[in-house]
Amino acid sequence: MPSTSSQKSVGSSVMDPNEPPVGKVEVSGDGAPLGLCAFALSTFVLSLFNAQAMGIKIPNIAVSLALFYGGLAQFLAGCWEFVTGNTFGMTALTSYGAFWLSFGAIFIDSFGIVAAYEKSEETVPQLKNALGFYLLAWAIFTFILWLNTLKSTVAFCALFFCLFVTFILLAAGEFSQKTALARAGGVLGVITAIIAWYVALAGTATTTNSYFRPISIPMPGNVAFKN
């Protein structure tokens, strides 16, 4: 088990598990756990809707989370990672924060996104394919980030891999209009959210505030655990 100081490093490694970058600014606090919690909670709720838990199929209640927690809070956490010099954390958190903001905008009538596809019977089917392209693009982006976690921790690497597969399943569900694929994406999304919460806990739990400290298992080549 890493020391308290090591654990804090792993917490920020939540977004950068290897050696801190040159010129890193020393500041109090770490924005990564906030960003991960915002991501996890928003993903958890939306994924329950995608899985059609309790028979709920309309995800509009998740718009408030998408805007204020998954969107705004996560985006600000990414900006904080920029201050600390964590390039990966900044890229991931601000990008997924923007994802949630853009996702919320889809369901806000004043943006007119859905309405643009409902003008005629010919354009209605295009909405599913458009959402498929949207989700596929985020899958590609997530895959790129996953490649940068192969020397992090098992949980962190698993987080991005599960998220990548989640996006693929949801995109496939939109393209094929098969509910089973969307529900599978919802189930995997719940698992992804739980992993994100676990990693966030690893970044906040210390010997001074918790009796339980998650074990951070390093991936091969993780230099943060070699000393």
Q: How does pLDDT run across 8-19, given as a tens digit for each residue?
A: 433 344 565 454
Q: How many Å apart are CA 163 and CA 185, to the nearest integer?
A: 9
Joined tokens for residue 121: 């019977």
Q: How far apart are CA 145 and CA 148, in angstroms?
A: 5
For position 125, what pLDDT does the model report?
83
Binned at pLDDT 50, 70 and 90, residue 227 comes out as low
Of 203, 214, 205, 209, the C-alpha closest to 17 is 203
Q: What is the mean pLDDT of the chain?
A: 88
16 contacts 86 by C-beta, under 8 angstroms: yes
Annotated domain spans of the chain: 30-219
pLDDT of 28 higher than 70: no
Residue 70, C-beta contacts closer than 8 angstroms, at least 6 positions apart: 38, 39, 41, 42, 43, 96, 97, 100
pLDDT: is 221 or 51 the higher one?
Answer: 51
pLDDT band per the 50, 70, 90 thresholds, residue 133: very high
Q: Is 169 left (phi over 0), alpha (psi -120 to 50) or beta?
A: alpha
Q: pLDDT digits over 29-81, tens only?
A: 789 999 999 999 999 999 999 999 999 888 888 999 999 999 999 999 999 99
Tens digits of per-residue pLDDT, 153-211?
A: 999 999 999 999 999 999 999 999 999 999 999 999 999 999 999 999 999 998 899 89
Instruction: Give the torsion through C-alpha atoms of 34, 93, 3, 191, to 10 deg.
Output: 80
pTM of the model: 0.86
